[in-house]
Structure 1
């Protein structure tokens, strides 16, 4: 089977970023990259804030935050009145967990594809409240129907107080059928929290169409927003129960202002976030999505070939628009989190390539992303150089 051709580069897109040209940045999924125009928009806001801090924080800032939230929620297909800006998806998850009022005997159900920090948050809240965390194993190659069946069989009506499921998994780059999962969970009266950290900007699914009770996604990954920008969407029946992690002066205003207002927080990422969406729209939202997904698929095949991985053993993310791809590493390499982190650092230092190395179920994985600033040559260069580095290990 021949390697697919890479997509045509989007003219001028690479020049929109201030990334070090001596490094191949193949891990956009971890921290994103902020376009230069968005950096400048945020800096102008910082300058405004520092020119007169009292005026900036006390004259209209709450309304400016709400205006930015409405813009971002509209792009994502979420109800602006049911959405709140938060620092990141993990923060949104923590807000939901501590608002549930878990008790001894309750359980929080998740899958073994969950993001590590989210899993830690679940475990901490369960320790604090006496609830139980239960994790469902889901095979990497499971079909959508099989995933729904596994989740449905794992629900315990009357005991499962929350189901946490990823829209696009971080560790395994797997697109899950969240709308179908939500439907099954609701049949059993189990509320659902969707971890959509990678969805905004990459996936076209409107938030409201998923039907989740809670949905949290980052705009600083694929939405070109400054880091520290995420949206928490909450279904109407739950909004009055959502409490902030820290109480501040908008507490009596209710949701969402009580979540968003944290006094001297730096709000410039949120205020500059619409500039990120402007950049995305200027390039063409569908065009960027198609380009990034095709480039990631090309990189997966090229690097997979370099490592001697047959195409049939390259995981399919389950969706044509997914710009994250996974490649299995040779047996015995990166089988633990610490080993994966060490290898990731070594690849960055010795090969001048920033990638994600994951350890999932005792197997090491290389996760690559595609973004408008990447070129086919970067994946081809990694495919040539990586096997020798791994052989030394």
Structure 2
């Protein structure tokens, strides 16, 4: 299937979600969308908890969480005994940052594609410890080999205390070669944390095979889990160092239970996550991935063409299975994240289309997602109406 041919819709897929049909939801990557079947599973668990709160939280909850963790870890190729359920990738990143033991003179290395909240977390921990945050610039057009070369050249053995890289970048929709990056970090004796927020469900993931010291990914983006469901995986050498952000009753059990049990939080989302994987497997995981990647490529092509972007200037995500694609917007629309957010809201209000707009490299970029509930006509409609909207937008 070429990038110009939209894939056929998956029969009945749109009916699996409760999305507003009056809106084109082209931004699955930000918050996902929970299938109705998973919503109902979670509600049944909430009903169970409310029917007898003491029994739900005291009798068997630990075993149910462990069973869920094992199920999700198996899907991701992670060691279930070295993985913990956490609310999201950002929490997992913060947990790792506080556990690696940064001190004065250390540095944490990131790329300029890092997620904004991760940058804030790294900066905060570095300021507390007297360490330094250093950023490696990576062009959006960089090949996998160039990404690795740039990061490898920036590592400083003995000083770089942690390397943080994305598996799929959020703002620029680029798939990084995390296995090769982990190998480069290992050669330099630098631990690596892979932010795999977008990877579960979108890409075939084998956490163990990446060779990362730490890996964290959300299942509520592309794996149909309720929001607030992520998995943090840690290699054996680091597990004893992981110190939970909140101390609770399983503290003495050590990782991962010490991280997972945080008192009377709502565990229904975690326990419902296997229902999301069941929904994916019912339709066919590979079928979903092929559909989404083909539709995202189609959306990128038609919107790019409408904006006058030559096909060769449309960024390649770096993996044909990626279901998010980037389109450069005309210059002059802004170069700050606040301006990008305002532009995203304008598109939502005027065109009834939910998209992602991010500022990166001195300009705004439109990020389009594709999920099984999307249709080619939604991208065509956006392509028809977006140029006029942008032309009328005030210059920044």
Please give the range of the TM-score, normalised by the shorter of the 2 chains: over 0.9
Corresponding residue number in structure 1 for 2:119: 119
Give the C-alpha shift of residue 334 in structure 1.
3.3
1:385 equivalent to 2:382? Answer: no
Aligned residues: 392
Which residue is equivalent to 1:314? 314
State the 1:3 CA deviation: 6.4
For 1:75-86, what aligned pairs fall within 5 Å after superposition?
75-86=75-86
Q: 1:144-179 deviations in whole A, cap 9, x for unaligned?
A: 111111111100100101000000100111111110
1:294 aligns with 2:298: no
Question: 1:380 and 1:56 mapped to 2: Cα distance?
Answer: 49
Residue 176 of structure 2 is matched in structure 1 by 176
What is the aligned partner in structure 2 of residue 367 from structure 1?
Answer: 367
Once residues 145 and 205 of structure 1 are traced to their aligned partners in structure 2, the CA distance between those partners, rounded to angstroms, is 20
Quote the offset at 1:91 in angstroms.
0.3
Match of 2:206 in 1: 206
The DSSP-based 3-state class of the residue aligned with 2:309 is coil
Contact 1:246 1:262 in 2 (8 A): yes
Q: Does 1:327 align with 2:327?
A: yes
Once the two structures are superposed, the pairs formed by residues 17-36 of structure 1 within 5 Å of their partners are: 17-36=17-36
Runs of 4+ in 1 over 3 A off after TM superposition: none
1:121-141 deviation per Cα after TM superposition (whole angstroms, max 9, x unaligned): 000000111111000001111
8 Å CA contact 2:95–2:243 kept in 1: the answer is yes
Contact 2:3 2:294 in 1 (8 A): no
1:250 match = 250
Q: How does 1:213-228 map to 2 (within 5 A)?
A: 213-228=213-228
Is the contact between residue 35 and residue 224 of structure 1 (CA under 8 Å) also seen in structure 2?
Answer: yes
Deviation at 1:205, TM superposition (A): 2.8
Contact 2:3 2:297 in 1 (8 A): no
**After superposition, what is the alpha-carbon deviation per residue over 1:224-272, rounded to whole angstroms, capped at 9, x for unaligned?**
0000000000001000110110100000001100000000111110000
Q: Are 1:10 and 2:10 an aligned pair?
A: yes
> Which TM-score applies when normalising by structure 2?
0.98
**Shift of the alpha carbon at 1:100?**
0.9
Deviation at 1:143? 0.9
Distance in 2 between the 1:111 and 1:3 partners? 29
Corresponding residue SS for 1:109: strand
Q: Take 2:334 and 2:311, find their aligned partners in 1: how far apart are those partners?
A: 21
Q: Could you tell me whether the CA contact under 8 Å between 1:3 and 1:302 is conserved in 2?
A: no
Distance in 1, matches of 2:204 and 2:91, equals 23
Scaled by the length of structure 1, what TM-score is found? 0.99
* Aligned-residue offset at 1:4: 1.1
Alignment of 1:79-118 (within 5 A): 79-118=79-118
Q: Distance in 2 between matches of 1:43 and 1:154?
A: 48
1:283: which partner in 2?
283
Corresponding residue number in structure 2 for 1:65:
65
Q: Which runs of 5+ in 2 are unaligned?
A: none
State the alpha-carbon separation in 1 of the partners of residues 77 and 282 from structure 2.
Answer: 19
| 8 Å CA contact 1:202, 1:321 repeated in 2 | yes
CA distance in structure 2 between the aligned counterparts of 1:220 and 1:121, rounded to whole angstroms: 21
* Native 8 Å contact 2:228 2:269 kept in 1: yes
Which runs of structure 2 are paired with 1:225-240 in the superposition (5 Å)?
A: 225-240=225-240
